A and B are shown apart, each in its own frame.
Chain A
């Protein structure tokens, strides 16, 4: 079923060409079953828009972001510098990623270590493609559906990207509804700061269940996310609320790819 066209940087190099953009898939996008679907949806859109893009493939490695948030600065910088060596070796200028954590660390923490690139979150890049007329969305599938967007902390609060995902979602012709806490005051999904990889501390509720409650209060058909980790947390939250029959959790790329 592989109808996706994905070329590695190595192949571009062999042809002596440079891609328009490098797609940083990230560890979740490469290995997590749910997130792989997001990677595939995003590539489907890139193919549709005839974007000449590359991936690093087996030369890509964890950005080190999660190690840094866990407190392991050594491991982070090892990972960062190895990645920077690969990226600089290929003279990469422009990167796009579906993961706000990769987006944040490459944008803010790689430059001091010698990695200077223009990096975009996939919602920003998709908006750019649609604005340029390169990507057309029919906007039929989700017409009239209620969609609420959950701001990823590392895209929104951390880097003040609030509008791109919303503007991209508008193209689906769905009705966008905002949660009470959104944009700067959006509640975390509970996965950040390496929480994704550990059990939560003792408390009286899980954060993702609380955040899903916020979303359910908007009475949505779909919860839109822009982060593979948020996606997992919100999906689990929906299950905790036993609403999986009524509400689906989809990435902005998946929504556009199926519009």
Chain B
């Protein structure tokens, strides 16, 4: 009987990690539905970017209030996880506060966890107020209606509850230590929970043990639930921000990729020795589709971008088109890409990994042409993203599809392009007049 809690704990732990691993597998599969892209260059700069932007939160603090609050929650999250390690060992071995022999260091650790937990609670409350009371513009955009809004609040509630459980557990533990209860060795410093412990004065040892155990179990089960919540939430960024900043852009923002398939064809067209009537080789590969109309036309880094997006909306807030009331919202581009990718993934899950045409695609069914044509390619969204997401690259790939596969550019742009084709300038002026400005 005495081993029952240990066994139960092991079962819960394995089930939680197992389910999480299964979803990580799905995540990998979905991201790999994207086209291959070479990211083996600039390793050093990539590591530096990851350390500076993800680990160091360098772009978060561009907005100081949100940045500071976020750093508190982030640091709290990482450091308090050291405590989770102890909880897991205790749970499996049936020990209590197994790190206690660390002595003064242990007191310091527990003390800092408590202060951090308190600061996290303060920050989470501030975040909730920003989302629900102050009603910041970027949290009220149309794409934030429904699940995205609920998701944002749920994360805050879960974090709040986890921190309160952590402190309740410590408070009860502290009280038990004071009462000299068996099994509860004197260890740890409780700068925050000692005040909560005052509320527990007068409680019997047995009720305190029940309270301590309940908080302990709910806390760890809550953490395992939160771990599994990630895959279904924008909160996935806590893991994916790291690879995403690593694989993010290392070239100037103005450099858009040149399509290699086009280069080959253009070279052929400009080659005076090429035979214009030559039939394509028998074994010639199917020509590439130009641009993107669905998620599988994007590359895997763009798909990773979509899963990394935490819908903070800084991109949309900085977007000149969005600020002037146009439909384009770079955040929506990322959310749509993720939603469609999830839909494609589920479609494949239903049929042993085979995708069955569902008559839908990213273009039109999720992202409208009006949104795509409103972009000024100014890179404000890319600059604003705290985790190196590039919504502009998706917009550009979809424009390429519209123009090169569908000839569906706005009429004025078609005129501009035929001017370039005919006379080498976007306006209908003769190339022979190119130097007239000198004498005017």
Q: Tell me the A residues contacting B by CB distance below 8 Å.
A: 2, 4, 6, 8, 25, 27, 29-32, 36, 39-40, 43, 55, 57-58, 60-62, 64, 66-75, 77-79, 81-82, 85, 104-105, 107-109, 112-113, 153-154, 157-160, 184-185, 187-188, 190-195, 197-207, 210-211
Contact = CB atoms under 8 A, between A and B. Distances in A.
Given A72-B417, A75-B417, A201-B328, A109 B269 contact: no
Interface stretch (B87-95, B217-225, B255-263, B353-361): B255-263
Interface residues of B, number: 67
Nearest to A83: B424
A190 B323 CA distance: 11
Contacts of B377: 69, 153, 192-193
Interface in B84-134: none
Nearest to A32: B427
Given A71-B400, A192-B377, A194-B416, A185 B318 contact: yes
B67 to A, nearest CB: 15
Nearest to A78: B266
Nearest to B403: A71
B431 A73 contact: no
A197 B324 contact: no
Interface of B: 251-256, 258-259, 262-263, 265-267, 269-270, 290-291, 318, 320-321, 323-328, 370, 373-380, 383, 396, 399-404, 409-410, 412-413, 415-417, 420-421, 424-427, 429, 431-440
A77 B266 contact: yes
B258 A109 contact: yes
Give the one of B254, B425, B435 with max A CB within 10 A: B254
Contact of B320 (A27, A73, A190): A190
Given A71-B291, A78-B269, A158 B426 contact: no
A31 B258 contact: no
Contacts of A81: 266-267, 270
A200 B431 contact: no
Q: Nearest 9 CB-CB pairs, A to B? A: A158-B254, A71-B399, A193-B377, A204-B325, A61-B424, A108-B255, A188-B378, A203-B325, A71-B403
B378 A157 contact: yes
Given A57-B434, A72-B404, A104 B426 contact: no
Contacts of A85: 270
B18 to A, nearest CB: 45
A158 B421 contact: no
A165 to B, nearest CB: 16
A112 B38 CA distance: 15
B438 A2 contact: yes
Contacts of A195: 376
Given A158-B254, A201-B328, 6 more contacts: A30-B437, A43-B438, A104-B255, A157-B378, A160-B252, A204-B325
Contacts of B424: 27, 60-62, 79
Given A157-B253, A192-B377, A207-B321, A71 B434 contact: no
Contact of A200 (B326, B409, B415): B326
Contact of B263 (A77, A153, A204): A77
Contacts of B434: 25, 30-31, 57-58, 60
B413 A58 contact: no
A249 B206 CA distance: 80
Contacts of B431: 58, 61
Contacts of A157: 253-254, 378-380, 383
A58 B403 contact: no
Contacts of B266: 74, 77-78, 81
A108 B254 contact: yes
Given A58-B431, A62-B424, A73-B258, A198 B404 contact: no
Contacts of B396: 69, 71
25 contacts: A30-B433, A31-B437, A32-B427, A57-B434, A60-B434, A66-B426, A68-B256, A69-B396, A70-B413, A72-B409, A73-B400, A77-B258, A104-B252, A113-B258, A153-B377, A188-B376, A190-B320, A192-B378, A198-B410, A199-B410, A199-B412, A203-B321, A207-B376, A210-B320, A210-B324
A66 B320 contact: no
B403 A198 contact: no
A71 B404 contact: yes
A31 B417 contact: no
Nearest to B327: A201
A29 B436 CA distance: 11
Contacts of B404: 71-74
Contacts of B376: 153, 188, 190-193, 195, 207
Contacts of B378: 153, 157, 188, 192-193
A164 to B, nearest CB: 15
Nearest to A6: B438
A62 B420 contact: yes
Nearest to A103: B254
A27 B426 contact: yes
B187 to A, nearest CB: 49
Nearest to B264: A77
Contacts of A198: 373, 410, 412-413, 416
B197 to A, nearest CB: 48
Contact of B253 (A158, A188, A190): A158
Contacts of A201: 321, 326-328, 370, 373-374
A60 B437 CA distance: 14
Contacts of A58: 431-432, 434-435
Give the one of A43, A185, A193 with max B CB within 10 A: A193
Contacts of B320: 187-188, 190, 207, 210-211
A191 B377 CA distance: 9
Contacts of B373: 198, 201
A159 B438 contact: no
A202 B436 CA distance: 37
Nearest to A211: B320
Given A82-B270, A200-B374, A153 B438 contact: no
